[in-house]
Structure formats: C-alpha cells, structure tokens
Structure 1
Amino acid sequence: MNLNQLSQPFSLSNGQVIKNRLFKSAMSEQLGDKQHNPTFGLATLYKRWAKGGIGLSVTGNVMVDRQALGEPKNVVLDEHSNLALFSQWAEAGKQNGAQIWMQLNHPGKQIPKFLCEEPVAPSAIALGRGLEKGFNTPRALTETGIYEIISQFATSAKLAKQAGFTGVQIHGAHGYLVSQFLSSRHNQRNDQWGGSLENRLRFVVEVYRAIRKEVGDDFPVGIKLNSADFMQGGFTEEESMQVVQTLSDKGIDLIEISGGTYESPSMMGAKNNSEPLKASTIKREAYFMDYMVKVRKLVSTPLVVTGGFRTGPAMNEALNTSATDFIGIARTMAVDPEFPNKLIGNPDHGMPLTVPTTGKPGLDKMAMVGLVWYEHQMWRIAAGKKADPKLSALGVVAKTILSAGWLAFKKRRA
C-alpha cells in the first residue's frame, strides 16, 4: 500500500484520468463582471491553483439562468455569454495537468430580496428560521417552467464543454433548486414532481439526462449532494442514499457529499447552530465520513467527501478505508494554493485553520466573517497577490463596507 494515497492517479469509467486524489470543492468566488462573464481574475486564480498541484478543481457555482442569481457577482453561462472568456478560464484551470469542472446551479428561492422580487421553487413555501426577512416567498414553478430550467442546465453544460472545461458538476446540495426538489419540506407538490421520493428526485434525474444528451457519454458529469438537510421534515440520510443509488445506476461519473442548507448550515461544520461535532468526526477531520462508509456499500461510483480535512494523515486514512476516492478541500486552498503540492510531497503535512474573528462575536455573525475573509483571500490571489494568513478580519469587514456597503453582507452562499 502506498503511504501517500493522495498522489495516486484515478481513472473515471469514461477513461479520463485525474492525476491525484485532491479535489478542490466549489467556493463562491464572486468574480463575475457586470455582464456575468468571468473576469480575468478567475483565470489567474485557477491557474494558481492548478500550479499548486490540485488534481481536479470544481468552479464556484455558475448560474444557468441570468434572471436567477444567488449573489450579485455570480457568473452565468448561457447563449448570451462571452464564450471566449470562459475558454480563457478553462485553459488556465488545465495547467499542470489539472482538470477543471464547472459547477452548474440554479438557486431556486435562495435569492436575496435585493436581487429578485419573485423567485421560483417547487412550491410557494418561504425559507424559515428568520431567513424569510432576507428572502422573498417564491412562486411555485409550472411544469413548463420546470422543463425550461432543465433545458437551461443542458445548454450551460453544452457550452461548458465547448469552452474547454473537462467536466461539469450539478449543484444538488445546500438548499438550492435541485436540493429543494428533493426535500419534502420544500417540495409539497402533488404532481409528478412531488410527493414520493421517486417523484421528488425526478427533477435531478431529468437534469442529468438532459445534460448527458448534450455532452455525450465521454464527458464527465458529476453531482454535489447533501447527505441530509438536518431539518425536521427535510431530506433525510436514507433518502439521500436512494438518490445516490439512482444516479449511480444511471451512470453519473462522480458524487460529492456535503450537507445542510441555509436554514441548517451543516456544510460549515455541525448539524445545526448549537450541536457540536462528534469526537470521532474531529479525530477523522471529515464532517460526513460516517455517511460515506454507509454509501460505499451501496455504489461503486467514485465518491468525494468534502468538509473538515486539514492534514495528510487524516486524508490518507480516509482514502485507505475505500469509503471515498477523493478528498475535497476548499478553504485551505484559499489560504495556501500550494497546499496540494505540500501534501503530495509530505504525507504528514497539515494546515490547521484558525477561525477569523474581529474580536466581536456579534459583528462576526452580522458580517459573515467566516465567509467573507476567505473571499478576500481568493480576490488577493486573483489579483496576482499572495494569500495572507494574517489578514485582519476587522480590515476585511471595513473594506467590504467601503466598497459595497452593508448590502454585501446579505445572506449569501456558504
């Protein structure tokens, strides 16, 4: 057994080879221009990550509908996009033998009020836990509207392939539209798109089918799924496993596991705002490894687990269990783009992350410091600068207010 499994290549069923087991999970870069095309900074950022040794990068969420943005500076890929700018981004992300997949997303009702007066969703149900103050109640999609969005996903995937991206990932986690369809909490339709799990997963199956029809069998199509929503009446772990099995049977190439929604942000490290992580989770570092062990018994489709990994030994231990085929990393890459090279060169390497703070818990929460601080690190790299692990959290908040006002701290993607 190789002591450093992270350095081993992996071949997908379509023959595409990913040079190592390190997978950059999506982070929202907020680097789209006024027309929602990628800025040159995105090419700079992904070239730096490619040079840093990552095997596969997944972009931040690219929206399939320019009328449905999750954040003001989202990138959109549709028939009105400047494909040459996307090609520059793709080419940069393929440096040093890396792969770059585009994450495709529709936010559904998770659109801040200041961006959309009437978002759409499976059902006309508002977000809860106080989020209804920042997000408008959605309009329930008609069946025609559902098929239009499915077509938009397919079009964006076709264009991503044309632009030179080496794969696409459907964003089916974190409470966005695909996740909303899967959840009985948010999907209370009584037609073929709601009710039973078979009906609720129809939307994601049709999105996958439409994409596959456009890109062919040799182009990788993956998905990011919740292990659960961790909400009463929401998407359960058992349902998640059934969705994984269904998509695996239909030929999806790679499944990344995360968890939670805006209402219960488990992707940030715990099942809810008050429940601590289990000791076994802390020891293994990964937030969702317990789920991965179970799901590996059900499918042979390549799996990625994302969330919490900081050290080489924990990553190699996870790979050695065969419960996952790739290790998803994100924030460590924003602080040190060379993190993959260091892990491959030294299997004992690690990089614990401190929690950025202004020293004032109330301000940290209101300003979303745990998110915005990492965005500023990505913006530094995109501008050709080095990341700054000692970057002042208070300074980040001040700069954001000066540039965009308090509007910048409206509820955003995690």
Structure 2
Amino acid sequence: MRNVQLNTSLLNQPIMLPNGSVIPNRLAKAATSETLATYSNNPTEKHVRLYQRWASSGIGLIITGNIMIDRRALGEPGNVVVEDERDFAILQKWAKTVTEQGSQLWAQLNHPGKQSPKGLNIRNISASAVPFEAEMQSLFATPYEATHDEIIEIIQRFGRSALICKKAGFSGVEIHAAHGYLINQFLSPLHNLRKDEWGGTPEKRRKFLLEVYKEIRKQVGADFPVAIKLNSADFQKGGFTEEDSFEVIKALSIAGIDLIEISGGTYESGVAKAPQKSSTIAREAFFIDFAQKVRAHVKTPLMVTGGFRSVEGMNQALESNAFDVVGIARLMAIDPDAPRFLLSGLNGRQTVKPIKTGIKKIDALGIMEVLWYTQQLKRISRGNEPKPNESGLWAFIKSVLRSGWGTYATQRTRSK
C-alpha cells in the first residue's frame, strides 16, 4: 500500500453522540477477542498493558473484547467476567490507562449463548435448542432452550454489568448483538424457533435485545453512552437478513441508542465476511452499502467495521456521509501504532492479509482468523511486538492446545 500523506480532516474530526458525549476523532478500535483473563475470569495487568499501548496511538475510541456478564456462560477460556465488584480495582486501572490518554474506553458486554466450546460451561442456553451446522457440531454442543426466568435474569445481568463498568470509569458500553452470540441467536429466525413472547415474529425476536437496552439505560442513565454491535446480516439461509437488521436499527434509534456499529456474519458463516461485489471491495468498507440505506432513514451515529485498508479509503468512505466512525480491529493486532499514522495522513506499517493454515476444513471455519489475531494480542499484552508473518497453522495449533487446557483449568477452578 503506498504511503502518501493525505488530507485527514475527516478522520481527525470529533463527533458528538446524541447524549452529548464527544469522541475526539473518527477512528475506533473495534472489539477483538483477547482471552487475557485468568481462568477464574479476572482481568489482569495484561489488559492494562495492551490497552495502554492502543491508547498511546491517539485513537479516539477503544471497545473492549468480550466482557461476559455471567461466569456460568463463557464464550472462551480467559474471558473477562463482570458480574460483581470483586475486580473493581483492576477495572479502574484498566479504564484509567485509556481515558487519561484522551481516548474513550467502552466495555463490550456479551453472553455467548450456545456459541461456547464443548465442556467449557456446565449448561449452554440459547433462544431455542437448535444445533450448529454439521461441520461445527464437534466443537459446539446443542444448547438448551432458555426459560423465561433465565431470560429475565440475563437482562438484569446486562444492566448490572454496565453499571459496574460505569462506576469503574469506563466511558461507555456496547451491547454485542452480532457474530452469532446470544442476542444474535434471539434475533435470527434460524436459531429462534420460539412461539412465546420472545419469538415467532420479527417484533418478538427483537424484544430480548430491546429489553437488554432498556435495562442498561435504566442502570447507567441518559448521559452515559450505550452502543450496539449489530449484524447487517448473518449470511445464513433462513437467518437474520438486512431487512430484519434495518427494522432492529429503527427500533433502537427510536429507543435512544447512542451509536450503532454495523458488522456481519457468525462463526458458522464467517465473521465480518467480505462482500462479493467488486465495487464494495474497492471502496474498502465491507458494509457501506447497507450503512447508506440506514443513513437515509436513521440519524443515529453509525460505525462501520470491516475491510478498511488505507487512510485514503477511510477518508473517502467518511466523505460519502454513509456513516460516522471508522472501525479497525485486525490492523490494531498487527500494528498497534497504526492510528498515529492514519491520523497524520499516512498508511500504517502493516496491511491486513488473509490468514490460512493450508488445511481447507480449518480455513473454512469463521473462527480460524480470530484465533490467529488473538495470538498477536497476547504478544502485545506481554510487552512484545506482534508477528505479522506468524504461521497460521502454528497459531491454530497453539490456540487449540491453549483452549483445551483453558477449558480444563476453568472446570477445575469451578470445582474448588
């Protein structure tokens, strides 16, 4: 990618959210899977080091990787869980290391539903007892259908976790409703087969999400940023479509959400799956076409994540006025200082490339590249530099071994 200095007035422009909060520029570090917590799910100094490095780049907004709301419902070994104030001191330190450098830090709150490796949780629940596709059933068990009481408890947990993060000094929270996790499972007619108040029609399928938002807003108040990460579509036959997503976005906008991050895909179909249209690929922003449709009807600030490769592409995308914030994630794993260059009108030192193991069945899994980038975050958290050319196969093997050990260690921790 050529490194030519450009006019960066748009990337450097601050943005005011509906509640009056101001993000200092238009660059955001989108959430990435980190799994840096202990096997008791406590945040550590590794989080502080990683986020200190990112914040020093001058990026306007940093969104954490999965912070789970329930120790009984983990997406991976090493997830941070915030369900009470036992880790309040390190949460405060984590938040302060970012905000004192001028960036905002938002906690991404999540529940995995059925999207959790076999054996990690005692009982996985979902909207309905729908198994994964055949090729992934060896990794993920068929879930139980959540009861009404379990649904109500989860809604309350989202609110409680958001309030704890606010008290600890985080700048905002983001609800993870994308990429095949629990809220996405409720939204999808493929995974939600219920016929009660939580399913059966598009309105009922989105009730769970809207109740989560209401509970969070009730706990944190009107002046605290609450955002959402939402799929434009799941890219699965019979699943959550662009039409479904558009209706959810309209409902959230009316409810008062502060920012909507648009992404796409699931672990089954591929996370942040690239579009097929050459015109969209050329514009870099994978989901800009959908964002343009949304922008015509919704004034809520929009963030688009996926596909950005150059400072020129980012500025051109912002000039379209289809969205307001550029989300970058994988680039931050291989070039944590990239925002410093981008905000100066220069391309970063690294370019995001496809990661392959050479084994077709593994490379077809949407989770494969997530594992490789997670390895890079672990290096940065230890104070080392990332390895942009690390073997995809070697990273996959290490991840599988670590996940196996992590599942065993998590089980042992629970049994004590």
Q: How does the TM-score come out when normalised to structure 2?
A: 0.91
How far the C-alpha of 1:16 sits from its partner, in A, is 1.2
Q: What is aligned with 1:376? A: 375
Do residues 239 (structure 1) and 244 (structure 2) align?
Answer: yes
Task: Report the CA distance shift for 1:347/1:33 in structure 2 as closer, same or farther (over 3 A).
Answer: same
Which consecutive residues of structure 2, in runs of 5 or more, have no partner in the other structure? 1-6, 408-416
Task: Report the CA distance shift for 1:201/1:119 in structure 2 as closer, same or farther (over 3 A).
Answer: same
Greater RCO, 1 or 2 (C-alpha within 8 Å, sep 6+): 2
Render the CA deviation track for 1:322-366: whole Å, top value 9, x for unaligned: 101000000101111111110111256674223334555566568
Q: What is aligned with 1:123? A: 128
**Which of 160-169 and 355-364 deviates more?**
355-364
The partner residue of 1:142 within 143, 147, 151 is: 147
How far the C-alpha of 1:94 sits from its partner, in A, is 1.6
Task: Report the CA distance shift for 1:364/1:197 in structure 2 as closer, same or farther (over 3 A).
Answer: closer
Do residues 85 (structure 1) and 90 (structure 2) align?
Answer: yes
Aligned letter for 1:340? P
Aligned letter for 2:21? Q
**Which of 12-21 and 110-119 deviates more?**
110-119
Aligned letter for 1:386? E
Contact residue 339 and residue 348 of structure 2 kept, 8 A: no
**Which of 210-219 and 133-142 deviates more?**
133-142
Contact residue 311 and residue 348 of structure 1 kept, 8 A: yes
The partner residue of 2:223 within 218, 222, 225 is: 218
> Could you say what secondary structure the match of 1:223 adopts?
strand
Q: Aligned partners of 1:360 and 1:132: how far apart in 2?
A: 19
> Could you say what secondary structure the match of 2:101 adopts?
helix
Contact residue 311 and residue 351 of structure 1 kept, 8 A: no
Task: Report the CA distance shift for 1:155/1:377 in structure 2 as closer, same or farther (over 3 A).
Answer: same
Q: What is aligned with 2:288? A: 289
How far the C-alpha of 1:395 sits from its partner, in A, is 4.6
Q: Aligned partners of 1:195 and 1:400: how far apart in 2?
A: 38
Aligned letter for 1:78? E
Aligned letter for 2:51? Y
Contact residue 187 and residue 194 of structure 1 kept, 8 A: yes
Aligned letter for 2:388? P
Percent identity over paired residues? 49
How far the C-alpha of 1:319 sits from its partner, in A, is 0.6
Task: Report the CA distance shift for 1:136/1:117 in structure 2 as closer, same or farther (over 3 A).
Answer: farther
Task: Report the CA distance shift for 1:258/1:402 in structure 2 as closer, same or farther (over 3 A).
Answer: closer
Contact residue 11 and residue 343 of structure 2 kept, 8 A: yes
Q: What is aligned with 1:396? A: 395
Contact residue 114 and residue 181 of structure 2 kept, 8 A: yes
Q: What is aligned with 1:411? A: none
The partner residue of 2:266 within 261, 267, 271 is: 261
Q: Aligned partners of 2:356 and 2:211: how far apart in 1?
A: 43
Do residues 197 (structure 1) and 197 (structure 2) align?
Answer: no
User: Aligned ranges for residues 15-414 of structure 1 at < 5 Å?
Assistant: 15-79=20-84, 81-270=86-275, 277-347=276-346, 351-358=350-357, 370-397=369-396, 399-400=398-399
Q: Aligned partners of 1:219 and 1:87: how far apart in 2?
A: 17
Q: What is aligned with 1:273? A: none
Q: Aligned partners of 2:67 and 2:298: how far apart in 1?
A: 28
Render the CA deviation track for 1:197-217: whole Å, top value 9, x for unaligned: 111111011000000000000
How far the C-alpha of 1:253 sits from its partner, in A, is 0.3
Q: How does the TM-score come out when normalised to structure 1?
A: 0.91
Q: Aligned partners of 1:225 and 1:62: how far apart in 2?
A: 16
Q: Aligned partners of 2:156 and 2:16: how far apart in 1?
A: 30
How far the C-alpha of 1:263 sits from its partner, in A, is 1.8
> Could you say what secondary structure the match of 2:81 adopts?
coil
Task: Report the CA distance shift for 1:65/1:400 in structure 2 as closer, same or farther (over 3 A).
Answer: closer
Q: Aligned partners of 2:241 and 2:314: how far apart in 1?
A: 26
Task: Report the CA distance shift for 1:363/1:152 in structure 2 as closer, same or farther (over 3 A).
Answer: closer
**Which of 147-156 and 361-370 deviates more?**
361-370
Q: Aligned partners of 1:143 and 1:363: how far apart in 2?
A: 37
Q: Aligned partners of 2:150 and 2:8: how far apart in 1?
A: 51
Contact residue 51 and residue 95 of structure 1 kept, 8 A: no
Q: Aligned partners of 2:397 and 2:139: how far apart in 1?
A: 22
Q: Aligned partners of 1:122 and 1:400: how far apart in 2?
A: 29
How far the C-alpha of 1:192 sits from its partner, in A, is 1.1
How far the C-alpha of 1:369 sits from its partner, in A, is 5.2
Render the CA deviation track for 1:141-161: whole Å, top value 9, x for unaligned: 111111000000001001010
Task: Report the CA distance shift for 1:111/1:245 in structure 2 as closer, same or farther (over 3 A).
Answer: same
How far the C-alpha of 1:394 sits from its partner, in A, is 4.8
Contact residue 78 and residue 406 of structure 2 kept, 8 A: no
How far the C-alpha of 1:367 sits from its partner, in A, is 11
Aligned letter for 2:135? G
> Could you say what secondary structure the match of 1:249 adopts?
helix
> What is the aligned-residue RMSD (CA, Å)?
2.2
Aligned letter for 1:13? P
Aligned letter for 2:166? K
**Which of 365-374 and 184-193 deviates more?**
365-374
